[in-house]
């Protein structure tokens, strides 16, 4: 699976931040979330993982399009409704980027506003 090493590193990093990993690769028709975690305060965090081995075509954050964010939002809403029966739980979206090799590249968390 493409991106599996990057997602594994991202999941491990989020767990070092004290988050509980709830799901990987949550899919609904028309949307997908790479990682779903829960912070110790109870906030759910929906994370898109993006990795770029080289900056030839821009950095990893530049690969996230408005369409991808909309699909991510849709999948997060689907998760809230299907798994919790409501859409008003504390949550947020973020992008975790890895610039360089998946195992050693620079990690950065980018909040989605």
For residue 15, the domain's CATH number is: 3.40.1350.10
Report pTM.
Answer: 0.92
Residue 18 has pLDDT above 50, yes or no: yes
State the total domains in the chain. 1
DSSP-based three-state secondary structure for 42: coil
What letter does residue 110 receive in the DSSP assignment?
E
CA angle 20, 63, 93 (to 5 degrees): 30
d(CA 43, CA 55): 33
Q: Residue 26 sits in which domain range? A: 4-111
Q: What is the pLDDT of residue 2?
A: 60
Give φ, ψ of 22 to 5 degrees.
-100, -45
* pLDDT tens figures, 49-68: 999 876 677 778 788 889 99
Q: What is the pLDDT of residue 93?
A: 97
Q: What is the pLDDT of residue 62?
A: 82
What letter does residue 30 receive in the DSSP assignment?
T
User: In residues, how long is the chain?
Assistant: 113
What is the pLDDT of the chain when averaged over all its residues? 92
């Amino acid at each position: 699976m493409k991106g599996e090493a990057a997602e594994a590193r991202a999941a491990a990093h989020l767990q070092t931040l004290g988050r509980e990993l709830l799901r990987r690769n949550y899919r609904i028709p028309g949307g997908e979330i790479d990682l779903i975690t829960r912070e110790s305060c109870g906030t759910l965090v929906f994370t898109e993982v993006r990795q770029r081995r080289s900056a030839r075509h821009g950095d990893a954050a530049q690969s996230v399009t408005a369409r991808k964010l909309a699909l991510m939002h849709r999948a997060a809403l689907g998760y809230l409704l299907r798994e919790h029966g409501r859409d008003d739980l504390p949550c947020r979206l973020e992008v975790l980027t890895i610039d360089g090799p998946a195992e050693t590249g620079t990690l950065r968390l980018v909040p989605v506003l």
